[in-house]
Structure 1
């Protein structure tokens, strides 16, 4: 039996979007009509439904040398919205998002698993080929002279000969996390926050992925591991200056 992890709770959780994503192996092919029936079943909970399309464009050159423009658009599934939540049912997989204000991982993952179970019952996939947990955080920064070294343990450094008043920031690291799973990768992003009312802020984006063939019945066991480890990554990236602002 898996023991529930004690998680640090922040009353001002900086999460602007938490995402659980599962991609499936399409053997046998998933029927779009079954996805449509599934979305109809949850419309009372998610009144807004938008189609998701896959668009391919290119050129084909005939033997005579003439180029012909080609475009193919296929419907992959549907995006369903309600306040604070976004659900996607696709022929290629499933995703569930929790928008701000964020509650907690236990609530979020339990909701996601309920909709995943509906997906399994309706579409009967046998294996997943990608499981991911993504947490996009808008971290408030202290007022006054903002020095990232005081706020974060993950930040860019500049040579002394260059100006330090950068106007924008984008930094990404892709880290193999073999201590978690041989196929796990953590993608850490640090970038400028979009303008918004309130204090200065910076975005910390944690995308934790395992990409390999997994029986669908084990997908949420894998996601539970990623859910624990993404907390450890978050805590490792921030300092007490940030903790005081989100406590």
Structure 2
């Protein structure tokens, strides 16, 4: 997929981004356990004072000889910690399986977001010394409030649910997801679209959730990660700008 350079895309003063996430999955040395992960808070508590445990739990079911299902005990436990800023619009996650930086609205721009994420990631690397990085991802969740009434979603968003012509064309709710490959940079995008109930301001929130990622192994050249994040960000922008009409973009100016 070839598109515009990053500098050629419009930066909107009222961008619809409700949350941006930068995620890095890793394989840590065997001696790094959940207690050591918790010590990451000492390095960030001035900016991220609030601490919460992040768990991972699984519940299974097995079939008995007579064919009846029986629940298995829940398994799992703490996998890491979430550290929040005082105003709760920034979160840094330190986990056994990786690192995530979340930025909630307001989102300034990619340069600011990337720089803070990179600074926090370097602290994670210095403290836990990952053996390797196995996956990198960017996710942007956009909430686009379109004025009602609306005759056709295509007035605002170009990928839409299609209803068979002989059925009612009224949609009470929809949820759709597609996965797009980008062979040029060896990446994929999970694009999720849905809608929320109309607001009291007579607007309909449309959700455009773009999750772009690369599954690759980085061992020695850590700077290569950030070169690839730039590629992912361009890929994300290509999807965002080519998914919306000019009428939709006017809402963000």
TM-score bracket, shorter-length normalisation: 0.7 to 0.9
Structure 2 partner of 1:10: 12
Q: Distance in 1 between matches of 2:233 and 2:226?
A: 10
Q: In structure 2, do the counterparts of structure 1 residues 149 and 75 end up closer, same or farther at CA, with 3 Å as the change threshold? A: same
Structure 2 partner of 1:73: 76
Gaps of 5+ in 1: 62-66
* Residue 232 (1) aligns with residue 238 (2): yes
Q: Distance in 2 between matches of 1:159 and 1:68?
A: 41
What displacement does 1:44 show?
1.6
Q: Distance in 1 between matches of 2:89 and 2:72?
A: 41
Structure 1 partner of 2:40: 38
Structure 1 partner of 2:212: 208
What displacement does 1:153 show?
1.5
Provide, for residues 23-76 of structure 1, a one-character-per-residue CA deviation record: whole Å limited to 9, x for no partner. Answer: 102454533233111122211211211011122444789xxxxx8944433221
Structure 1 partner of 2:66: none
Structure 2 partner of 1:246: 252
Gaps of 5+ in 2: 64-69
Tell me if structure 1 keeps the 8 A contact 2:197–2:204: no
Match of 2:111 among 71, 93, 106: 106
Count of matched residue positions in the alignment of Structure 1 and Structure 2: 239
Provide, for residues 150-187 of structure 1, a one-character-per-residue CA deviation record: whole Å limited to 9, x for no partner. Answer: 21111111121111111101011111111222xx1111
* Residue 175 (1) aligns with residue 177 (2): no
Q: Distance in 2 between matches of 1:105 and 1:137?
A: 15
Q: Distance in 2 between matches of 1:9 and 1:92?
A: 33
